[in-house]
Amino acid sequence: MELSLAKNVAIDRVSNAVAAGTSDINSSSVNMEGFETATFLVAFGTITATAVTSVQIDHSSDDSAWNSVLGSKVTVADTASNKVAIVETVRPTLQYVRCTVDRGTANAVVDGIFAIRSGAKKAPITQGSTIVGTTVVIGSSTGTP
């Protein structure tokens, strides 16, 4: 069994950084065909006191009409500046999933959202266009990188 994360999961940046604000953020969607699990990592910057922020997963059968996934909501405290929220769906019932960040009342900065699809039916994985390159080193030796 190959232990490499880079060869066994698909990693995508599904939202760039978004400046301080209170508007909701919907990530790009990921197609779950051929994968078992989608994990979204939401990196936060500064969250202003009194901000009401949460993260959830939405799903769609056609990549256009979206509904919330029951039980996927994570509440983000206004003291969680510079932290990461993780939401995950295992064996989603619809083909497409995305992450939504609900921001309200006071400013919250999002540094980016990343999707990790795992449980691939076929490996090795070829990374998508948001990844500039990968390398896998087996063991470790001193030398020119």
pTM of the complete model: 0.91
Question: What's the pLDDT score for residue 5?
Answer: 85
Supply the pLDDT for residue 2: 62
**What tens digit of pLDDT does each residue of 62-102 get?**
999 999 999 999 999 999 999 999 999 999 999 999 999 99
Q: Which CATH architecture has domain 5-118?
A: Sandwich (2.60)
Tell me the helices (H) and strands (E) count for the chain, helix number first. Answer: 1, 11
Per-residue confidence band for 141, with pLDDT thresholds at 50, 70 and 90? confident
Reported as a pLDDT band with limits 50, 70 and 90, residue 24 is very high
Mean per-residue pLDDT, 127-139: 86
pLDDT score recorded for residue 12: 96
Reported as a single tens digit per residue, the pLDDT across 58-69 is 999 999 999 999
Question: What does the pLDDT read at residue 76?
Answer: 98
Instruction: Report which of residues 88 and 144 the model is more confident about.
Output: 88
DSSP letters of 63-91? SSS-EEPTT--EEE-TT-TT-EEEEEEES
Q: Which residues 6+ apart lie within 8 Å of 119 measured at CB?
A: 35, 36, 37, 90
